[in-house]
Protein backbone atom coordinates (compact mmCIF):
# COMPACT_ATOMS: atom_id res chain seq x y z
CA UNK A 1 0.00 0.00 0.00
CA UNK A 2 1.26 3.49 -0.82
CA UNK A 3 1.93 5.81 2.11
CA UNK A 4 1.52 9.07 0.25
CA UNK A 5 0.04 9.92 -3.14
CA UNK A 6 0.48 13.09 -5.18
CA UNK A 7 -2.42 14.71 -7.03
CA UNK A 8 -2.13 17.19 -9.87
CA UNK A 9 -4.39 18.86 -12.42
CA UNK A 10 -3.03 19.67 -15.89
CA UNK A 11 -4.19 21.27 -19.15
CA UNK A 12 -7.12 23.66 -19.49
CA UNK A 13 -9.37 23.74 -16.44
CA UNK A 14 -12.79 22.08 -16.58
CA UNK A 15 -15.77 22.11 -14.22
CA UNK A 16 -15.45 19.16 -11.84
CA UNK A 17 -11.69 19.22 -11.16
CA UNK A 18 -12.27 20.01 -7.49
CA UNK A 19 -14.85 17.22 -7.26
CA UNK A 20 -12.15 14.74 -8.37
CA UNK A 21 -9.52 16.18 -5.98
CA UNK A 22 -11.98 15.93 -3.08
CA UNK A 23 -12.94 12.34 -3.89
CA UNK A 24 -9.28 11.29 -4.26
CA UNK A 25 -8.37 12.81 -0.89
CA UNK A 26 -11.40 11.43 0.92
CA UNK A 27 -11.00 7.91 -0.50
CA UNK A 28 -7.23 7.85 0.08
CA UNK A 29 -7.42 9.06 3.67
CA UNK A 30 -10.72 7.62 4.91
CA UNK A 31 -10.72 4.27 3.14
CA UNK A 32 -7.02 3.46 2.75
CA UNK A 33 -5.23 5.59 5.36
CA UNK A 34 -2.93 7.15 2.75
CA UNK A 35 -1.68 10.72 2.91
CA UNK A 36 -2.20 13.15 0.03
CA UNK A 37 -0.01 15.90 -1.38
CA UNK A 38 -1.34 18.41 -3.91
CA UNK A 39 1.15 19.34 -6.63
CA UNK A 40 0.51 22.91 -7.76
CA UNK A 41 0.33 24.21 -11.33
CA UNK A 42 0.39 20.82 -13.02
CA UNK A 43 3.78 19.08 -13.41
CA UNK A 44 5.50 22.45 -12.88
CA UNK A 45 4.96 21.96 -9.13
CA UNK A 46 7.43 19.09 -8.97
CA UNK A 47 10.24 20.99 -10.65
CA UNK A 48 12.85 23.29 -9.11
CA UNK A 49 11.85 24.56 -5.66
CA UNK A 50 8.61 22.47 -5.93
CA UNK A 51 5.17 23.74 -4.97
CA UNK A 52 3.49 21.14 -2.82
CA UNK A 53 0.63 21.40 -0.39
CA UNK A 54 -0.71 18.88 2.11
CA UNK A 55 -4.29 17.85 1.34
CA UNK A 56 -6.54 16.66 4.14
CA UNK A 57 -10.26 16.10 4.52
CA UNK A 58 -10.41 19.54 6.07
CA UNK A 59 -8.57 21.26 3.23
CA UNK A 60 -10.92 19.78 0.59
CA UNK A 61 -14.06 20.54 2.55
CA UNK A 62 -16.52 22.73 0.62
CA UNK A 63 -14.73 22.53 -2.74
CA UNK A 64 -17.20 20.20 -4.52
CA UNK A 65 -19.27 22.98 -6.15
CA UNK A 66 -16.29 25.25 -6.87
CA UNK A 67 -15.13 25.89 -10.43
CA UNK A 68 -11.46 25.83 -11.50
CA UNK A 69 -8.93 23.81 -9.52
CA UNK A 70 -7.60 24.51 -6.04
CA UNK A 71 -4.23 23.17 -7.26
CA UNK A 72 -3.86 25.48 -10.25
CA UNK A 73 -3.12 24.20 -13.74
CA UNK A 74 -0.99 24.89 -16.82
CA UNK A 75 -1.50 24.01 -20.47
CA UNK A 76 1.91 25.35 -21.47
CA UNK A 77 5.22 25.08 -19.64
CA UNK A 78 8.38 23.04 -19.16
CA UNK A 79 6.65 19.76 -19.95
CA UNK A 80 4.43 20.97 -22.74
CA UNK A 81 5.51 23.12 -25.66
CA UNK A 82 3.84 23.96 -28.95
CA UNK A 83 6.19 23.57 -31.90
CA UNK A 84 4.86 24.08 -35.44
CA UNK A 85 1.27 23.72 -34.26
CA UNK A 86 1.92 20.45 -32.40
CA UNK A 87 2.07 19.81 -28.64
CA UNK A 88 5.48 18.39 -27.83
CA UNK A 89 6.38 16.65 -24.58
CA UNK A 90 10.09 17.25 -24.06
CA UNK A 91 11.90 14.53 -22.15
CA UNK A 92 14.27 16.59 -20.07
CA UNK A 93 12.47 17.53 -16.82
CA UNK A 94 11.09 14.05 -16.02
CA UNK A 95 14.28 12.92 -14.24
CA UNK A 96 14.21 16.04 -12.09
CA UNK A 97 10.51 15.51 -11.33
CA UNK A 98 11.09 11.86 -10.39
CA UNK A 99 13.90 12.78 -8.03
CA UNK A 100 11.70 15.46 -6.39
CA UNK A 101 8.88 12.94 -6.00
CA UNK A 102 11.28 10.57 -4.24
CA UNK A 103 12.66 13.40 -2.09
CA UNK A 104 9.15 14.31 -0.89
CA UNK A 105 8.19 10.66 -0.35
CA UNK A 106 5.41 10.66 -2.91
CA UNK A 107 4.99 7.01 -3.97
CA UNK A 108 2.26 7.31 -6.61
CA UNK A 109 0.45 9.93 -8.69
CA UNK A 110 -3.16 10.64 -9.62
CA UNK A 111 -2.96 12.81 -12.73
CA UNK A 112 -6.15 14.61 -13.75
CA UNK A 113 -6.00 15.92 -17.29
CA UNK A 114 -6.70 15.68 -20.98
CA UNK A 115 -4.71 14.17 -23.84
CA UNK A 116 -1.52 16.22 -23.34
CA UNK A 117 -1.38 15.79 -19.56
CA UNK A 118 -2.10 12.05 -19.77
CA UNK A 119 0.63 11.66 -22.40
CA UNK A 120 3.09 13.10 -19.85
CA UNK A 121 1.63 10.81 -17.15
CA UNK A 122 2.30 7.86 -19.43
CA UNK A 123 5.97 8.87 -19.60
CA UNK A 124 6.17 8.69 -15.80
CA UNK A 125 4.61 5.25 -15.97
CA UNK A 126 7.19 4.15 -18.55
CA UNK A 127 9.93 5.24 -16.13
CA UNK A 128 8.40 2.86 -13.56
CA UNK A 129 6.48 5.39 -11.45
CA UNK A 130 2.94 4.32 -10.40
CA UNK A 131 0.37 6.56 -12.07
CA UNK A 132 -3.39 6.55 -12.57
CA UNK A 133 -4.99 9.08 -14.93
CA UNK A 134 -8.41 10.71 -14.68
CA UNK A 135 -9.92 11.96 -17.97
CA UNK A 136 -10.80 15.65 -17.95
CA UNK A 137 -11.80 17.95 -20.78
CA UNK A 138 -14.82 19.96 -21.81
CA UNK A 139 -14.05 18.79 -25.38
CA UNK A 140 -14.96 15.12 -24.65
CA UNK A 141 -12.34 14.13 -27.25
CA UNK A 142 -10.57 11.37 -25.29
CA UNK A 143 -10.92 7.92 -26.74
CA UNK A 144 -11.44 4.98 -24.36
CA UNK A 145 -13.96 6.86 -22.23
CA UNK A 146 -17.52 7.58 -23.24
CA UNK A 147 -17.48 10.84 -21.29
CA UNK A 148 -14.96 13.15 -19.70
CA UNK A 149 -16.04 15.27 -16.75
CA UNK A 150 -16.56 18.95 -17.58
CA UNK A 151 -18.25 18.20 -20.88
CA UNK A 152 -21.84 18.12 -19.59
CA UNK A 153 -21.44 21.46 -17.81
CA UNK A 154 -20.00 23.00 -20.99
CA UNK A 155 -23.03 21.74 -22.92
CA UNK A 156 -25.39 23.27 -20.34
CA UNK A 157 -23.67 26.63 -20.73
CA UNK A 158 -23.68 26.49 -24.54
CA UNK A 159 -27.34 25.40 -24.52
CA UNK A 160 -28.33 28.30 -22.33
CA UNK A 161 -26.43 30.65 -24.65
CA UNK A 162 -28.36 29.24 -27.64
CA UNK A 163 -31.67 29.66 -25.81
CA UNK A 164 -30.83 33.30 -25.15
CA UNK A 165 -29.69 33.92 -28.71
CA UNK A 166 -32.91 32.38 -29.97
CA UNK A 167 -35.13 35.13 -28.59
CA UNK A 168 -32.95 37.98 -29.80
CA UNK A 169 -32.49 36.33 -33.23
CA UNK A 170 -36.27 35.96 -33.58
CA UNK A 171 -36.95 39.54 -32.45
CA UNK A 172 -34.56 41.03 -35.02
CA UNK A 173 -34.92 38.48 -37.85
CA UNK A 174 -31.17 37.95 -37.74
CA UNK A 175 -28.71 35.14 -38.27
CA UNK A 176 -27.02 34.51 -34.94
CA UNK A 177 -23.78 32.53 -34.83
CA UNK A 178 -22.50 30.97 -31.61
CA UNK A 179 -18.86 29.83 -31.66
CA UNK A 180 -18.13 27.11 -29.10
CA UNK A 181 -14.93 25.31 -28.07
CA UNK A 182 -14.01 21.67 -28.74
CA UNK A 183 -10.60 21.80 -30.44
CA UNK A 184 -10.77 19.61 -33.57
CA UNK A 185 -13.97 17.83 -32.57
CA UNK A 186 -17.61 18.83 -32.69
CA UNK A 187 -18.95 17.22 -29.50
CA UNK A 188 -19.93 20.45 -27.74
CA UNK A 189 -21.46 21.98 -30.89
CA UNK A 190 -23.42 18.83 -31.72
CA UNK A 191 -24.85 18.25 -28.23
CA UNK A 192 -25.59 21.91 -27.51
CA UNK A 193 -26.99 22.36 -31.01
CA UNK A 194 -29.46 19.56 -30.41
CA UNK A 195 -30.35 20.68 -26.88
CA UNK A 196 -30.55 24.38 -27.82
CA UNK A 197 -32.49 23.90 -31.08
CA UNK A 198 -29.88 25.27 -33.46
CA UNK A 199 -30.91 25.37 -37.12
CA UNK A 200 -27.39 24.78 -38.40
CA UNK A 201 -24.58 22.87 -36.64
CA UNK A 202 -21.06 23.18 -38.03
CA UNK A 203 -18.49 20.65 -36.81
CA UNK A 204 -14.93 19.80 -37.90
CA UNK A 205 -15.97 16.27 -38.85
CA UNK A 206 -18.36 17.58 -41.57
CA UNK A 207 -16.78 20.33 -43.71
CA UNK A 208 -19.40 22.94 -44.61
CA UNK A 209 -20.26 25.00 -47.67
CA UNK A 210 -21.69 28.52 -47.61
CA UNK A 211 -24.11 27.54 -50.38
CA UNK A 212 -25.66 24.82 -48.22
CA UNK A 213 -25.83 27.17 -45.23
CA UNK A 214 -27.56 29.87 -47.28
CA UNK A 215 -29.94 27.30 -48.75
CA UNK A 216 -31.04 26.45 -45.21
CA UNK A 217 -31.48 30.13 -44.26
CA UNK A 218 -33.65 30.67 -47.37
CA UNK A 219 -35.67 27.50 -46.72
CA UNK A 220 -36.46 28.79 -43.25
CA UNK A 221 -37.47 32.21 -44.60
CA UNK A 222 -39.84 30.56 -47.07
CA UNK A 223 -41.36 28.54 -44.23
CA UNK A 224 -41.95 31.76 -42.27
CA UNK A 225 -38.95 31.74 -39.89
CA UNK A 226 -36.97 34.87 -40.66
CA UNK A 227 -34.14 34.08 -38.26
CA UNK A 228 -31.52 31.33 -38.12
CA UNK A 229 -29.38 30.11 -35.24
CA UNK A 230 -26.02 28.62 -36.12
CA UNK A 231 -23.68 26.89 -33.67
CA UNK A 232 -20.13 26.45 -34.93
CA UNK A 233 -17.31 24.47 -33.34
CA UNK A 234 -14.06 26.45 -33.18
CA UNK A 235 -12.35 23.79 -35.32
CA UNK A 236 -14.99 23.66 -38.09
CA UNK A 237 -13.75 24.27 -41.65
CA UNK A 238 -15.22 25.16 -44.99
CA UNK A 239 -14.78 22.42 -47.60
CA UNK A 240 -11.21 22.55 -48.91
CA UNK A 241 -10.04 25.05 -46.26
CA UNK A 242 -8.23 24.54 -42.99
CA UNK A 243 -9.12 25.65 -39.45
CA UNK A 244 -8.91 29.29 -38.42
CA UNK A 245 -6.48 30.17 -35.63
CA UNK A 246 -6.39 33.10 -33.26
CA UNK A 247 -2.73 32.31 -32.87
CA UNK A 248 -1.19 29.74 -35.20
CA UNK A 249 2.13 29.58 -33.31
CA UNK A 250 0.38 28.78 -30.04
CA UNK A 251 -2.13 26.52 -31.82
CA UNK A 252 -5.11 28.50 -30.48
CA UNK A 253 -8.26 27.94 -32.52
CA UNK A 254 -10.82 30.73 -32.90
CA UNK A 255 -12.35 33.19 -35.34
CA UNK A 256 -14.47 30.88 -37.50
CA UNK A 257 -17.74 32.41 -36.19
CA UNK A 258 -16.76 35.94 -37.17
CA UNK A 259 -15.44 34.68 -40.52
CA UNK A 260 -18.83 33.09 -41.25
CA UNK A 261 -20.67 36.25 -40.16
CA UNK A 262 -18.66 38.44 -42.53
CA UNK A 263 -19.01 36.06 -45.48
CA UNK A 264 -22.76 35.65 -44.93
CA UNK A 265 -23.28 39.40 -44.88
CA UNK A 266 -21.37 39.65 -48.17
CA UNK A 267 -23.43 36.88 -49.73
CA UNK A 268 -26.99 37.52 -48.49
CA UNK A 269 -29.06 40.51 -47.54
CA UNK A 270 -29.41 39.63 -43.89
CA UNK A 271 -27.99 41.06 -40.69
CA UNK A 272 -25.97 38.67 -38.63
CA UNK A 273 -24.10 38.68 -35.32
CA UNK A 274 -21.47 36.40 -33.84
CA UNK A 275 -20.97 35.49 -30.17
CA UNK A 276 -17.85 33.66 -29.02
CA UNK A 277 -18.66 31.71 -25.86
CA UNK A 278 -14.98 31.03 -25.08
CA UNK A 279 -13.85 30.35 -21.53
CA UNK A 280 -17.34 30.80 -20.08
CA UNK A 281 -17.65 27.13 -21.04
CA UNK A 282 -14.85 26.24 -18.62
CA UNK A 283 -15.43 28.60 -15.70
CA UNK A 284 -17.78 28.31 -12.76
CA UNK A 285 -19.55 25.59 -10.88
CA UNK A 286 -19.88 22.07 -12.32
CA UNK A 287 -23.39 20.74 -12.87
CA UNK A 288 -24.72 17.81 -10.83
CA UNK A 289 -23.65 15.26 -13.45
CA UNK A 290 -20.02 16.43 -13.52
CA UNK A 291 -19.86 16.53 -9.70
CA UNK A 292 -21.10 12.94 -9.64
CA UNK A 293 -18.84 11.72 -12.48
CA UNK A 294 -15.79 13.53 -11.06
CA UNK A 295 -16.44 12.03 -7.62
CA UNK A 296 -16.82 8.53 -9.04
CA UNK A 297 -13.67 8.93 -11.19
CA UNK A 298 -11.64 10.18 -8.19
CA UNK A 299 -12.70 7.36 -5.86
CA UNK A 300 -12.16 4.73 -8.59
CA UNK A 301 -8.67 6.12 -9.34
CA UNK A 302 -7.58 5.62 -5.72
CA UNK A 303 -9.16 2.15 -5.55
CA UNK A 304 -7.27 1.23 -8.73
CA UNK A 305 -3.96 2.38 -7.18
CA UNK A 306 -4.72 0.51 -3.95
CA UNK A 307 -5.45 -2.64 -5.95
CA UNK A 308 -2.03 -2.40 -7.59
CA UNK A 309 -3.03 -1.03 -10.99
CA UNK A 310 -0.49 1.26 -12.70
CA UNK A 311 -0.30 3.13 -16.00
CA UNK A 312 -4.08 3.12 -16.32
CA UNK A 313 -6.79 5.72 -16.80
CA UNK A 314 -10.24 5.48 -15.22
CA UNK A 315 -12.89 5.50 -17.94
CA UNK A 316 -16.65 5.47 -18.29
CA UNK A 317 -17.75 2.53 -20.39
CA UNK A 318 -21.36 1.32 -20.64
CA UNK A 319 -22.23 3.43 -17.60
CA UNK A 320 -19.55 1.82 -15.37
CA UNK A 321 -16.19 3.22 -14.39
CA UNK A 322 -13.38 0.83 -15.24
CA UNK A 323 -9.70 1.23 -16.13
CA UNK A 324 -7.92 1.20 -19.49
CA UNK A 325 -4.19 1.43 -20.28
CA UNK A 326 -3.01 5.05 -20.50
CA UNK A 327 -1.36 4.24 -23.82
CA UNK A 328 -4.76 3.27 -25.23
CA UNK A 329 -6.42 6.36 -23.80
CA UNK A 330 -4.03 8.76 -25.54
CA UNK A 331 -3.66 6.86 -28.80
CA UNK A 332 -6.49 8.53 -30.73
CA UNK A 333 -8.63 11.62 -30.58
CA UNK A 334 -12.30 10.67 -30.31
CA UNK A 335 -14.20 12.44 -33.09
CA UNK A 336 -17.92 12.62 -33.83
CA UNK A 337 -19.15 9.67 -35.88
CA UNK A 338 -20.71 11.36 -38.90
CA UNK A 339 -22.88 8.30 -39.53
CA UNK A 340 -23.78 8.05 -35.82
CA UNK A 341 -27.15 8.28 -34.12
CA UNK A 342 -26.90 11.89 -32.97
CA UNK A 343 -25.95 13.25 -36.39
CA UNK A 344 -28.75 11.19 -37.91
CA UNK A 345 -31.25 12.46 -35.35
CA UNK A 346 -30.19 16.04 -35.99
CA UNK A 347 -30.69 15.57 -39.75
CA UNK A 348 -34.00 13.80 -39.24
CA UNK A 349 -35.41 16.74 -37.27
CA UNK A 350 -34.31 19.21 -39.94
CA UNK A 351 -31.02 20.52 -38.57
CA UNK A 352 -28.49 21.27 -41.31
CA UNK A 353 -24.74 20.54 -41.15
CA UNK A 354 -24.35 22.68 -44.29
CA UNK A 355 -22.59 19.80 -46.00
CA UNK A 356 -22.38 20.19 -49.76
CA UNK A 357 -24.20 17.62 -51.88
CA UNK A 358 -26.39 16.32 -49.06
CA UNK A 359 -30.01 16.08 -50.09
CA UNK A 360 -32.22 17.81 -47.51
CA UNK A 361 -29.66 18.73 -44.79
O1 LIG B 1 -9.16 21.73 -24.42
C2 LIG B 1 -9.99 22.64 -23.78
C3 LIG B 1 -10.02 23.96 -24.50
O4 LIG B 1 -10.93 24.81 -23.82
C5 LIG B 1 -10.34 23.87 -25.98
O6 LIG B 1 -11.72 23.67 -26.23
C7 LIG B 1 -9.81 25.18 -26.48
O8 LIG B 1 -9.44 25.10 -27.85
C9 LIG B 1 -8.57 25.38 -25.63
O10 LIG B 1 -8.74 24.58 -24.47
C11 LIG B 1 -8.32 26.81 -25.21
O12 LIG B 1 -7.17 26.85 -24.45
P13 LIG B 1 -6.62 28.13 -23.67
O14 LIG B 1 -7.04 27.99 -22.25
O15 LIG B 1 -5.14 28.01 -23.81
O16 LIG B 1 -7.19 29.36 -24.30
The yes-or-no answer on residue 141 being catalytic is no
Catalytic, out of 13, 41, 139, 141: 139
**What is the whole-number distance in angstroms between the Cα of residue 210 and the centre of ligand 1?**
26
Class of domain 4-150+286-329: alpha beta
146 has a pLDDT exceeding 70: yes
- Ligand 1 atom 10, closest CA: 12
Q: What percent of the chain has pLDDT over 70?
A: 96
| Nearest residue by C-alpha to atom 8 in ligand 1 | 183
The residues spanned by each domain of the chain are 4-150+286-329, 154-282+337-348
26 close to ligand 1 (CB < 6 Angstrom): no
Q: What's the rounded mean pLDDT across residues 217-225? A: 98
Supply the residue whose CA is at minimum distance from atom 14 of ligand 1. Answer: 12
Q: Is the CB of 12 under 6 A from ligand 1?
A: yes
Distance 288 CA to ligand 1 centre (A): 23
Pocket flag, ligand 1, residue 87 (CB < 6 Å): no
Average pLDDT, the chain: 95
The C-alpha angle 339, 343, 348, rounded to 5 degrees, equals: 110
Q: Is the pTM of this model over 0.85?
A: yes
CATH topology of domain 154-282+337-348: Rossmann fold (3.40.50)
Closest ligand 1 atom to 141 CA? 1
What ligand 1 atom has the least distance to the C-alpha of 254? 8
| Alpha-carbon distance values, 125 to 128, 157, 203, 256 (Å) | 5, 36, 35, 39
Domains 4-150+286-329 and 154-282+337-348 share a fold: yes
Residue closest via CA to ligand 1's atom 16 equals: 252
pLDDT range class, residue 234, cuts 50, 70, 90:
very high
Q: Is the CB of 10 under 6 A from ligand 1?
A: no
Does residue 4 line the site of ligand 1, with CB under 6 A? Answer: no
For ligand 1, atom 2: residue with the closest CA = 12
Is the confidence at residue 263, as pLDDT, over 90?
yes
Average pLDDT rounded to a whole number, residues 326-345: 96
> How far does the centroid of ligand 1 lie from the alpha carbon of residue 65, in Å?
22
Residue 91 pLDDT greater than 80, yes or no: no
Amino acid sequence: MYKQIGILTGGGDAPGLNAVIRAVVRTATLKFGMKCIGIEDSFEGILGETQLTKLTNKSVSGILPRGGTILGTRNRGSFCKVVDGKMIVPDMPIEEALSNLRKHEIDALVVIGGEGTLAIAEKFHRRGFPVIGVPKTIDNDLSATELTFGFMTAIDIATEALDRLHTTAASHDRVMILEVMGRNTGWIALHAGLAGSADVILIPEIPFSFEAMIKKIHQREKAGSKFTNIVVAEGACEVGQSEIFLDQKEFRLGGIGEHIRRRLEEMIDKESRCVVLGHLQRGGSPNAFDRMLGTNFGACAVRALAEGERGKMVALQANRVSTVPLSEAIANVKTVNVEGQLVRTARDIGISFAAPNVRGN
